[in-house]
Amino acid sequence: MKKISMYIGAVLIISSCSKSWIDVNDNPNTPSISRSDWQFSGALNTTVSNTTGPDGIGGAWGGYFGFSTSFTGGSQAKTYIFSNSDFNYWDNQYDNLFDYQYVVKNGDAEGYGYLIGPAKIMQAFIFQRLVDMYNNIPYSQFGNINYITPEYDDAKSVYENLIKKIDSAITSIKAATWPASAPADIMFAGDKTKWIKFGNTLKLRILIRQAFVSGRDAYITGEINKIVAEGSGFLSTNALVNPGYAKQPNKLNFFYSTFGYNENDAEVSNHQFYKASAFLVNELKAKNDSFRLQRKIDVKPASIRLDRTVSSDPAYPSPINRDTFANYIGVPLGASSGFLTANSSPVGPVQIVKGEATRPMVLFTAAESYFLQAEAAQRYGLLGSAQSLYEEGVRQSFQLDAGIGTSSSALPQATAIAKANAYLATAQDNVTWTTSTDKLRAIYYQKWLALAFYNNFEAWTEWRRTKYPAVPHSTSSGANPVEPRRFYYPITEYNTNLDNLNKQGAINVYTSRIFWDIP
């Protein structure tokens, strides 16, 4: 749909629908129609697919990605220098919000009222992402036809209202009559308890994000106690999305097709260009974290790799010894030479295995849920034992890295748990709880490792909040001396909503911080 403004076409109905292969508005010769269940499935697939854009830049600035020096390009990521024409994630996020708004407005009338609560939770998920990208955003006037050029809301007030939105969503989920089968729910398959846990976990993320904001402790602890009182708890399993990915054009797992291979198993250019960072590779090596090194990172050289599995698996022999640390070569961000495609390491089997194009996509990890709880426990004395929650977060990270589902490259969960337990017992700082001198930093560090290649934007966001770990500055000779703290409002806002945008003042992406980003 062509829109003069991101806000105009959507409020006239009906959302633009999800720009994906399950989009219901796909016949240019007939009027567009929609239905809440179709709309919800398409919107959810779009939400998880939309992570791949910010994941590229978040991976670079969050310490996960470097770039092959066989190519030019990527200068904005390497130099931190960009304009309001770069990194426009605003439009597709708001477009996606309108998709969910269709469900909120029409779900009851169309007989899909049980999807209204999940749609509200997903709106909260996207609105938080927008705040974390841009700070103040249109929120209270969102979706109202009377405000085709909506005003911007204060970012902290948006965060507070997202807590209320999720509370409303949970009330709706509990009150709704859910069908025995809910095929439209391509994440939790109609399990309303998991939706409530997801909502609670998202609330915890929103609250913990504000932990460094002066005067917020009482508010944060009060809201966490409300979650405890609600009683459903937090996510203990990974939130995985699969609308029925197929090894066909435009039907692949979107991370796989963006950073890996196409439907014919031909390598896409991003798989050659995006490489594991030297920082991530070296951190895994320094902690002797061989299990996650082998899972998150692929061996080099690309030209003679036959597979993406560990050398100890006889079903998948490799000409490169995956047990040798020297065969994992990360690239420093900003490197201009010396790290060609053929002698540096791309993303490993946690996400990219040649031929495995139909895995679910990861929206939210169980590991992140446990690390959020661990921080709440350590910081505020809530939610149980910080040590137990931290250690379970590490185990969940290893288990997810072992592989999703029954893919040929997946390793046994028992193996992952045993490896995690051995790792936790190595008496290293930021690994073993009792050995770690700063417990919060241990949580930040392990959360950073766990998020790698599942939610790179979230990792960069957490780095901005915690300033940990010490992600190296770009080595590019042209790099700005200070890393960005946010994105510019996009050029589309300048073209369609200039008066309200100007009220936000001059934006300096190096010094204009998101409200929770405390120097």
pLDDT given at position 406: 67
Is residue 510 packed enough to be buried (19+ CB in 10 Å), middle (13-18) or exposed (0-12)?
middle
Question: To the nearest 10°, the Cα dihedral for 456, 457, 458, 459?
Answer: 50
Query: Which residue would you say has higher pLDDT here, 128 or 53?
Result: 128
What's the half-sphere exposure (Cβ side, CA atoms, 13 Å) at 515?
20
What span, in angstroms and rounded, lies between the C-alpha atoms of 202 and 45? 18
The one-letter amino acid at 458: E
Strand partners, 239: 364
Cis peptide before 28 (omega within 30 of 0): no
pLDDT given at position 265: 92
What span, in angstroms and rounded, lies between the C-alpha atoms of 19 and 250? 11
Token pair of 1 as six digits: 């749909």
- Tokens 């910010």 locate to 54
Per the prediction, the chain carries an average pLDDT of 91
Percentage of residues in the chain with pLDDT exceeding 70?
89
Overall average pLDDT of the 11-35 stretch? 45
pLDDT given at position 313: 44
Its pTM stands at 0.92
pLDDT given at position 490: 97
pLDDT given at position 408: 81
Is residue 145 packed enough to be buried (19+ CB in 10 Å), middle (13-18) or exposed (0-12)?
exposed
Q: In 3D, which of 26, 28, 32, 30 has the Cα closest to residue 14?
A: 32
pLDDT given at position 7: 55
- Tokens 């509990």 locate to 174
Look at residue 27 and tell me whether its pLDDT is greater than 50.
Answer: no
What span, in angstroms and rounded, lies between the C-alpha atoms of 508 and 17? 33
Tens of pLDDT, residues 391-432: 999 999 999 999 986 678 899 999 999 999 999 999 999 999
Which segments of 124-281 are extended strands (E)?
A: 239-241, 274-276
Q: What is the 3-state secondary structure (H, E, C) of 235-303?
A: CCCCEEECCCCCCCCCCCCHHHHHHCECCCCCECHHHHHEEEEHHHHHHHHHCCCHHHHHHHECCCCHH
Q: In 3D, which of 270, 318, 271, 272 has the Cα closest to residue 294?
A: 318
Overall average pLDDT of the 430-439 stretch? 98
pLDDT given at position 318: 52
Tens of pLDDT, residues 290-348: 999 999 999 875 444 444 444 444 434 455 667 789 899 999 999 999 999 988 999 99
pLDDT given at position 404: 81
Token pair of 330 as six digits: 């990360």
What span, in angstroms and rounded, lies between the C-alpha atoms of 52 and 485? 19
Phi and psi based region of residue 330 (left: phi greater than 0; alpha: psi -120 to 50; beta: remaining): beta
Number of Cβ atoms within 10 Å of the Cβ of 157: 13
pLDDT given at position 34: 83
Overall average pLDDT of the 247-272 stretch? 94
pLDDT given at position 36: 97
pLDDT tier, 181 (very low <50, low <70, confident <90, very high otherwise): confident
Q: What is the 3-state secondary structure (H, E, C) of 53-83?
A: HHHHHHHHHCCCEEECCCCCCCHHHHHCCCC
